[in-house]
């Protein structure tokens, strides 16, 4: 009997030891995997590093590319497009102007009443119209006839006291957010369609001419006074209320910048120099690239799998379209190599763009003690349940790395523009004010991104110059900005009762 008891005790002890060893092995394995996950994040942070010296190199490279793009067509990755906007709003504009904003599957019509310096934008009415899918791939006249018809209906609701005097035309600013070769302030030929449009007979045609023909068919007496893109509109919108505005930057789904250049500094400009002595340049800065950009294997993978490999590299590391997907790619690698979310890789994590930048922003801004928002997002979007606090903390760290790099590089781009036009330093004690107008959901809603951008720009400028440079939010450049450009380029400027 005694032998049996001893045998059982030995067997039990051996089983306990085996179980304990298994737990220890699992813990060692799991702590090894956790260490690997932490190491992967640290390595990613190093690859994304944006020390101030590197940012200065990026800004210098931006300055060099700007010069090259202004010297000749195709001389740079930056298109540096001449917009023919040489007469920005002064703030004195008065009257009623219309805007048409066509940039995707919807378009907007706007009616804007301006009251000059004292009253600013007095009244604003707008309507949004969905474009039927068949018109996005039909013929040019079908699309523009549809737009003209909807605009005419909108005009018909105009209050009687604003009806133009006999013989006077209504005037419109037309924001057309597709690639256009601009030929004057109010004309430009379509280079190609994007965003799901494919109307072959419109390519190579003057889009203002097509719209004007559609107006004439239905007897709508309206003149397109300005053809603009949303970034140029952002400059105009801000300049109306602040004469110190020298550039506009869009940081939203995509990104772009436009700025006011001295007409003498544009070697490729062939025409007469404008009376104002200045010209707004549309940089198309999303296509900027430089060996100084801190690119990672995740960025290279995203680029190679994109619809436009090798293009829009700057946009792919700073804009809202891509930031969330960079986070996803890092988390996927951690799941595959370090079992970050457990033994299996969550299938949803393999779906491109499933983590949108607004989701990333919500996780990054989670201030709860248990990071509840992060846990909920991982559960709702990726179907990952029961994440630990340490896992959630590491997810937030990845979001922070991606957002910080994007914000600091955006600041370096802005600093590059300031360098190009000599506004990066204070010369001879003169403290000329320079204001950058920013718009777009990324800048407006992603608070951590915005504050990082603003503090980095100050760091690059230094205390003295930072006092002379301001950043302000300018909303609805594509709508109100277009109407303002119609006003500042009106055929009735200087005429009594304008």
In the structure encoding, which two tokens stand for residue 104, read together?
């995707």
Catalytically annotated residue among 86, 108, 319, 328: 108
User: Cβ(469)–Cβ(434) under 8 Å?
Assistant: yes
| Helix pair 2-47, 389-420: axis angle to 10 deg | 10
Q: CB atoms < 10 A from the CB of 295, how many?
A: 18
Classify 196 in phi/psi space as left (phi over 0), alpha (psi -120 to 50) or beta.
left
Q: In whole angstroms, what is the distance from residue 173 CA to residue 185 CA? A: 10
DSSP 294: -
Q: In whole angstroms, what is the distance from residue 23 CA to residue 258 CA? A: 61
User: Please, which residues have CB within 8 angstroms of residue 451's CB and are 6 or more apart in sequence?
Assistant: none
End-to-end, the C-alpha distance of the chain in Å comes to: 115
Is there a catalytic annotation at residue 177?
yes
Is there a catalytic annotation at residue 156?
no
Q: CB atoms < 10 A from the CB of 148, how many?
A: 23
Closest CA to 187 of 155, 156, 162, 209: 209
Q: In whole angstroms, what is the distance from residue 252 CA to residue 229 CA? A: 15
Is there a catalytic annotation at residue 230?
yes
Catalytically annotated residue among 76, 86, 140, 177: 177
Catalytically annotated residue among 86, 206, 230, 424: 230
Q: Transcribe 309-375 into DSSP letters.
A: TTS-HHHHHHSHHHHHHHHHHHHHHHHHHH-TTSSS--GGGGSTT-S-HHHHHHHHT--STT-HHHH
Q: Which residues are designated catalytic?
A: 108, 177, 230
């Amino acid at each position: 009997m005694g032998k049996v008891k001893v045998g059982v005790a030995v067997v039990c002890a051996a089983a306990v030891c085996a179980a304990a060893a298994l737990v220890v092995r699992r813990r060692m394995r799991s702590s090894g995997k956790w260490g690997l996950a932490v190491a992967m994040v640290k390595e990613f942070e190093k690859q994304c590093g944006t020390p101030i010296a590197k940012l200065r190199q990026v800004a210098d490279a931006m300055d060099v590319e700007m010069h090259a793009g202004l010297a000749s067509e195709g001389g740079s990755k930056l298109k540096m497009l001449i917009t023919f906007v040489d007469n920005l709003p002064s703030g004195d504009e008065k009257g009623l102007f219309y805007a048409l904003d066509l940039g995707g599957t919807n378009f907007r019509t706007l009616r804007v009443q301006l009251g000059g310096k004292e009253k600013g934008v007095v009244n604003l009415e707008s309507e949004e119209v969905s474009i039927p899918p068949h018109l996005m791939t039909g013929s040019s006249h079908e699309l523009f006839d549809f737009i003209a018809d909807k605009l005419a209906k909108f005009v018909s609701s105009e209050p009687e006291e604003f009806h133009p005097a006999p013989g006077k035309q209504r005037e419109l600013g037309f924001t057309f957010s597709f690639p256009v070769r601009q030929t004057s302030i109010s004309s430009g030929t379509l280079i190609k369609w994007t965003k799901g449009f494919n109307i072959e007979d419109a390519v190579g045609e003057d889009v203002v001419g097509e719209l004007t023909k559609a107006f004439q068919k239905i007897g709508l007496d309206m003149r397109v006074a300005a053809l603009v893109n949303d970034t140029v509109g952002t400059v105009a919108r801000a300049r109306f209320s602040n004469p110190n505005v020298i550039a506009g930057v869009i940081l939203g789904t995509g990104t772009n910048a436009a700025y006011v250049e001295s007409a003498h500094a544009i070697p490729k400009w062939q025409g007469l120099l404008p009376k104002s002595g200045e010209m707004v340049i549309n940089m198309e800065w999303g296509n900027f690239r430089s060996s100084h950009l801190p690119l990672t294997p995740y960025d290279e993978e995203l680029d190679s799998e994109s619809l436009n490999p090798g293009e829009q590299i700057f946009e792919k590391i700073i804009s809202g379209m891509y930031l969330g997907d960079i986070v996803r790619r890092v988390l996927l690698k951690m799941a595959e190599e370090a079992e970050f979310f457990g033994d299996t890789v969550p299938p949803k994590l393999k779906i491109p763009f499933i983590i949108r930048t607004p989701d990333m922003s919500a996780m990054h801004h989670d201030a709860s003690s248990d990071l509840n928002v992060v846990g909920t997002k991982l559960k709702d979007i990726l179907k990952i349940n029961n994440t630990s606090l340490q896992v959630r903390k590491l997810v937030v760290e990845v979001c922070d790395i991606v957002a910080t790099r994007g914000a600091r590089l955006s600041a370096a781009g802005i600093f590059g523009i300031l360098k190009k036009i000599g506004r990066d330093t204070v010369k001879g004690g003169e403290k000329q004010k320079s204001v950058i107008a920013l718009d777009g959901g990324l800048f407006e809603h992603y608070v951590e991104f915005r504050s990082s951008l603003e503090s980095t720009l100050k760091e690059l400028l230094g205390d003295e110059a930072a006092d002379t440079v301001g950043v302000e939010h300018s909303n609805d450049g594509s709508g109100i900005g277009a109407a303002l450009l119609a006003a500042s380029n009106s055929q009735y400027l200087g005429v009594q009762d304008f």
